[in-house]
A and B are shown apart, each in its own frame.
Chain A
Amino acid sequence: MLQRSGRMLGLALGVTGATAFVAGFGSAAVAEWKPRKPVEFVVMAGKGGGADKAVRLMQSIIAKEKLAAVPVVPVNKPGGSGAEALVYMKGKKGDDHTIMFTLNSFYTTPLRQKKLGIDVTKFTPVMRMAEDTFCLWVHSDRKDINNVDDFVKAAKAEGNKWIMAGTGKASEDNLLTDFLNTAYGLDMKYIPYKGGGKVAKELAGKNANSTVNNPSEQLGFYEAGKTKPIACFTDDRIGLFKDAPTFKELGKDFVYYMQRTVVGAPGMSDEAKAYYKDLFTKVFNSEAWQTYRKKKALQGDPLSGEDLMAYWKKERDVHEDMLKKMGELN
């Protein structure tokens, strides 16, 4: 109805934003199954965060391009680093109207909280929409820091007075900080904050010495000349920051991405699985999503089905290994 009232508003105001997009192909089986009530789109994070924004963008694309006959409704379940969302999805076994948007806490939370009894390989793989990247950032006023060697020198000099801000304990940012500490023999102090936007602001306001933000979180400050990337945790250099090398280039083989993936409830029917795969392929190929990917320096090809499952298994093992090294797991 939201789309509907939107449509009516659009018509009434004489703004026909988009022409109906009719997919004329797809196997017969795909055409068979359609959602019969509003689809719940669970977000493993709170309102206003990066994942939430992406979900609301997808919701808008689906509404605008009329890709689904029913509304897709975001439901935020941020509790316990995603534990709440995972337990909720587990309880929705066999449900064809519940999907979830996941981050890397998809791997780390079940590993750290074993008693939840979550096996992520039981979930239904739908579509990997993107992989977000990470870079090491410092304030632009630090004219003495222009490359990783400068950074290491400066951070060493300050010892544990060097403050690295990040999002939450044992999160992606924490993993990367630990990696830097180990790889370069540093003793940076990690301060957890709530949300990547807040972290980016702490650096721009000089309340932290460095961060390992996603480019999207620092982009505004970067463009205003307040912060600068030193190096990135990617395979290849990021188009927006051609001058920032990758840690791989510098001889530290450390590549780390944040998955942005749509997951179905465990035991979802094959017909529904095919429907959502088709739906999110259309979302992925939409102009709005492609623009968003480019703006946010997102990487990662679309991945679904068995390939996505294989990716999960690989990433889960990688995270288990990292958490063990951090001493968060034994």
Chain B
Amino acid sequence: MLEIFGLLAQGFTVALQPFNLMLIIVGCAVGLFIGAMPGLGSVNGVAILLPLTFLVPPEGAIIFLAAIYYGAMYGGAVSSIMLGIPGASTAVATTFDGRPLAKQGMADKALTIAAMASFVGGTISVILFTFFAPPLAHVALTFGAPEEFALMMLAFATFIGLGGDDLAKTIFSICIGLVLAAVGLDIMSGEPRLIFGDITGFLHGINFLVLAIGIYGIGEMLWTVEENAKAGGKSMLSEATLTWQRTKNNIKEFLGTWKISTMGAFLGYFVGIVPAAGATPGALLAYGIGKQMSKEPEKFGKGAVEGVAAPESANNAASTGSMLPMLTLGIPGSPTTAILLGGMVIWGLEPGPRLFTSNPDFVWGLIASLYAANLFALILNILFIPAFIWVLKLPFTILAPIILTLCLVGGYAPTKDMHDVWLMLLFGIVGYLMRKLDYPVAPAVLAIVLGPLAEPALRQSLLISSGDPSIFFTRTFAGPIMVVALILLFMPVLMLIYRRLRGGGKRKAPSESAAE
């Protein structure tokens, strides 16, 4: 233990060198802006800026990229709250409550809570990272396809609470998301599928962002245009004001969510460690569990501060967690760390189990810089809140075309294919009409994120076991996770039966209100 403190102190001497400190601050600021653009999440931010880092020594380079990664994770919430468009899949869960808060004129509250929850998640996870890196890495290594599938089932189980009142439409929404996720190449058979008459644009599958920007960007804009026509040209958001009193209250309200933020941090960290899972399932799970833990679960989805705190804490914790397999095993825990890993190779480092011993300066410098990056990202984020609020004061007829411009760029940039821009427009219009008819759209967006993770894991597992499904229950980690997932999945049904048997309870059970 003492040894760790010594190493950490040494790390701080690296991280706090003026040059590195400057890289942290610049990186956080750049990341914050890139993260706040719909369509440019941390993956694109890190990929785009990777060549820049060739100009500084490796410690500086990784610190810079890690700061961008962190800044982008903070910034992701900004787009979710302000525009209702999740800039990256990790920020989807943040829209559920962040957006309603902004619509009620409390964008400042949502932004403050998101920033502070991110800080809590980030800091707790870095502490966990500092003290429990190597042993956890070994557990993560044993996670194979069955464990991944079990984890995905757990994430799916939390979907139940996200639908609307109409069960048929919720099921439809989940299924269409999962089907759209299957478009493209089937890696198990090597055959293209659902490419609709050999349209090459479908070969790379349907990127999550195309659906998310279509539905939340274009669909939401059309929705707001109609709302505005009804209201006779009022701004789409009630303006948030920023005063000391409000800020103090916001902070107080955040402190009230400490239990849920801490839960999000732990959960996000452990889910983030699992290679390939990344931050998205972590954020969703935290949202679902946060709802169960909350005293007022019925507020979730309508602007609950806890509904912002839980996923934001979890997705930042997961981004730290996903660095663990990267540093200790040399395998990426998320798409962003895959690129960081590429960077480390470029800088001449050999990520892998020996890195901790062969390059302690590098590893501990990075860990120390994560502490600093968290702090600066929080400060910058809070400082920028007035600027974000100011943007909302622009007249809607100026703001809307700017947002639509960002949507066009965001839809095009990830694949550089106009095909995806057309698809985005189609999703936007269809999504808008579906929303008018009370089809819930969030489950479809989540399904398209989790589908590509779940399906191969399911089929790899069954291929390993020669088609025997018991593989999901007999393994040390997969078994318990799967059982919990199934219980959560069938909880609403079980509670319903239970309630019928008891002749109807007076107080609504939490899981049942989750099914609403």
Q: Is any CB of A less than 8 Å from a CB of B in the complex?
A: yes
Mark A residues whose CB is within 8 Å of B. Answer: 2-3, 5-7, 9-10, 13, 15, 17, 47-49, 52-53, 56-57, 59-61, 63-64, 74-81, 83-84, 87-88, 112-113, 115, 160, 163, 168-171, 189, 191-194, 197-198, 200-202, 204-207, 219-221, 223-224, 226, 288, 291-292, 295
Task: Judge whether A48 and B464 touch: CB under 8 Å.
Answer: no
Inter-chain contacts of A59 with B (CB < 8 A): 51
Cα separation A71 to B229 with both chains bound (whole Å): 46
Return the CB mask of B454-479 against A: 1 if under 8 Å, else 0. 00100010011010000000000000
Q: A220-B350, A220-B354 are in contact. Are A200 and B331 (CB under 8 A)?
A: yes
Asked if B52 is at the interface of the complex by the 8 Å CB criterion, the answer is yes
Q: Which residues of A contact B54 (CB under 8 A)?
A: 6, 17, 60-61, 63-64
- Contact between B142 and A81, CB atoms less than 8 A apart: no
State the Cβ distance, A112 to closest chain B Cβ, in Å. 8
Partner of A193, one of B43, B56, B191, B460: B460
| 9 CB < 8 A contacts A-B | A6-B54, A81-B190, A83-B203, A88-B200, A191-B463, A192-B460, A197-B330, A220-B351, A292-B346
- B339 lies within 8 A of A201 (CB): no
Query: What is the size category of the interface that chain B forms with chain A?
Result: 35 or more
Which of B104-112, B162-170, B181-189, B299-307 lies at the interface? B181-189
Please pick, from A3, A5, A80, A221, the residue contacting B352 in the complex, using a CB distance under 8 A.
Answer: A221
Does B131 have its Cβ within 8 Å of any Cβ on chain A? no
Q: Is the CB of A220 within 8 A of B329?
A: yes
Pick the most buried of A52, A84, A226: most chain B CB atoms within 10 A of its CB. Answer: A84
Residues in A whose Cβ lies below 8 Å from that of B346: 53, 56-57, 60, 288, 292
Residues of chain A within 8 A of B188, CB atoms compared: 169, 192
- The yes or no answer to B120 lying at the interface (CB within 8 A) is no
CA distance in complex: A223, B351 (Å) = 11
Cα distance, A115 to B191, chains bound together (Å): 13
Q: Given A60-B346, A205-B142, decide whether A9 and B185 contact each other with a Cβ distance below 8 A.
A: no
A residues in contact with B297, CB < 8 Å: none
- Residues of chain A lying within 8 A (CB to CB) of residue B195: 80
Cβ–Cβ < 8 Å partners of B330 in chain A: 197, 220-221
Whether the pair B190, A204 counts as a contact (CB closer than 8 A) is no
Please measure, in the bound complex, the distance between the C-alpha atom of A295 and the C-alpha atom of B354, giving whole angstroms: 15
Instruction: Report B179 CB to chain A, min CB distance, Å.
Output: 18
Closest A residue by C-beta to B195? A80
Given A77-B204, A194-B187, also A6-B55 (CB < 8 A): yes
In the complex, per-residue mask of B326-349: 1 if CB is within 8 Å of any chain A CB, else 0: 000111100100110111011010
Contact of B142 among A5, A60, A207, A292 (CB under 8 A): A207
Contact of B353 among A52, A160, A226, A292 (CB under 8 A): A226
Measured between beta carbons, the chain A residues less than 8 angstroms from B288 are: none
Residues on A with beta carbons closer than 8 Å to the beta carbon of B353? 220-221, 223-224, 226
Q: Which chain A positions have C-beta within 8 A of B43?
A: 47
**Counting chain B CB atoms within 10 Å of each CB, which of A3, A52, A75, A193 scores highest?**
A193
Q: Please, how many angstroms separate the alpha-carbon atoms of A223 and B185 in the complex? A: 34
Residues in B neighbouring A10, C-beta threshold 8 A: 55-56
Residues of A within 8 A of B416 (CB): 75
**Residues of B contacting A219 in the complex (Cβ-Cβ under 8 angstroms):** 350, 352
> Roughly how many angstroms separate A194 CA and B345 CA in the complex, as a whole number?
20
Given contacts A3-B51, A78-B204, A192 and B187 within 8 Å (CB-CB) = yes
- Give CA–CA (A197, B338) in the complex, Å: 9
Q: How far is the CB of A49 from chain B (nearest CB, A)?
A: 8
Q: Are A63 and B51 in contact (CB under 8 A)?
A: yes
CB distance from A65 to the nearest CB of B (A): 10
Q: Which residue of B has the minimal Cβ distance to A12?
A: B22
Q: Does B175 lie at the interface of the complex (its beta carbon under 8 Å from any beta carbon of A)?
A: no
Contact status B331-A189, CB under 8 Å? no
B78 within 8 A of A: no
Give the residue of B56, B203, B331, B338 whose beta carbon is less than 8 angstroms from that of A15: B56
Contacts of A191 in B (CB 8 A): 460, 463-464
CA distance in complex: A78, B335 (Å): 14
Q: How far, in Å, is B85 (CB) from chain A's closest CB?
A: 21
Name the A residues within 8 Å of B335 (CB-CB).
Answer: 47-48
Query: Of B192, B342, B352, which one neighbours A223 at CB under 8 angstroms?
Result: B352
B55 contact from A9, A160, A168, Cβ within 8 A: A9
Asked if A198 and B187 make an inter-chain contact with CB atoms under 8 angstroms apart, the answer reads no
CB pair A15–B55 under 8 Å, yes or no, is yes
The answer to whether B198 touches A79, judged by C-beta atoms less than 8 angstroms apart, is no
- CB contact between A5 and one of B52, B185, B276 (< 8 Å): that residue: B52
Residue in chain A with minimal CB distance to B456 = A194
Q: Are A204 and B329 neighbours in the complex by a CB distance under 8 Å?
A: yes
Kindly list the 10 A-B residue pairs having the minimum CB-CB distance in the complex, ordered from nearest: A220-B352, A48-B338, A169-B190, A224-B353, A79-B204, A79-B203, A207-B144, A220-B330, A80-B203, A53-B342
Bound together, the chains give a CA A25 to CA B333 distance in angstroms of 46
Partner of B190, one of A57, A170, A206, A295: A170
Chain A contacts for B463, CB-based, 8 A: 189, 191
> Other than the known A15-B55, A168-B187, A193-B187, what 20 A-B pairs have Cβ atoms closer than 8 Å?
A2-B52, A5-B52, A6-B52, A10-B56, A17-B55, A48-B335, A53-B345, A56-B50, A56-B346, A79-B202, A81-B185, A87-B200, A113-B192, A191-B464, A197-B338, A197-B341, A219-B350, A221-B329, A223-B352, A295-B348
In the assembled complex, the CB of A313 is this many whole angstroms from the nearest CB of chain B, namely: 24
A168 near B190 with CB under 8 A, answer yes
Q: Does B143 contact A (CB under 8 A)?
A: yes
Contacts of B345 in A (CB 8 A): 53, 57, 292, 295
Quick one: which of B456-510 are within 8 Å of A by CB? 456, 460, 463-464, 466
